[in-house]
Amino acid sequence: MSERTHAELCDAVSDELRAQLALASATWVPVDQPTGLPVMERSGWIATNHHHFGRDGYLLPEQGIELPVEFAGARLGAFALVPIPAVGLTPEQRRVAVAISDLLASALARTSGAWRPD
Secondary structure of residue 111 in the 3-state scheme: helix
pLDDT computed for residue 117 by the predictor: 45
**How many C-beta neighbours within 10 Å does residue 22 have?**
14
Give this prediction's pTM. 0.87
Give pLDDT, residue 49. 87
Low-confidence ranges of the chain (pLDDT < 70): 1-3, 112-118
Q: Up-side HSE of residue 27: CA atoms within 13 Å toward CB?
A: 13
- Which domains are assigned to the chain? 6-111 (3.30.450.40)
* 67 Cβ neighbours under 8 A, 6+ residues apart: 17, 26, 39, 40, 78, 79, 81, 97, 98, 101
> What is the per-residue pLDDT for 67?
97
Distance CA 25, CA 63 (A): 11
pLDDT at position 1: 40
